[in-house]
Amino acid sequence: MTEYWVSQGKKWCDLCKIFISNNPSSIKNHELGTRHKEAVTKRLSNMREEKVAKDKEKKETARVLTQIEESQETPTDPRFMFWIARTRTWYGNVLDR
């Protein structure tokens, strides 16, 4: 029986965007390398920045919603007052429930 060559395959590193040989020593060597470590550091830094931006956006949204709710306690727009009066007429004080 004749032996034939079989490819070992490649492993894709999502952080570095490269293929490496799919054997334990190559994987370990890559993960201990400078390029991979810098890529991990960069990814973590980006994740932190995105979280800070997302938290800041949430706080801003909450602040704006609170401001909107406080300003709507005393509506002064005549069209809005007409709508409330009309709705109460049609549905029998639905807004008070």
Structure tokens at 29: 């060597």
Does a structural domain hold residue 46?
yes
Does a structural domain hold residue 4?
no
How do the pLDDT tens digits run along the chain, 97 residues long? 567 777 788 999 999 999 999 999 999 999 999 999 999 999 999 999 999 999 999 999 888 888 877 776 555 666 666 666 666 555 555 445 4
Whether 39 and 33 have beta carbons less than 8 Å apart is answered as no
Q: What is the pLDDT of residue 87?
A: 62
Measured in degrees and rounded to the nearest 5, phi and psi for residue 8 equal: -80, -15
- The verdict on pTM exceeding 0.85 is no
Please give the residue range of the domain that contains residue 44.
Answer: 33-96
Does a structural domain hold residue 11?
no
Number of domains in the chain: 1
Structure tokens at 30: 């890559």
Report CA torsion sign: 63, 64, 66, 70.
Answer: positive
The SS3 call for residue 19 is strand
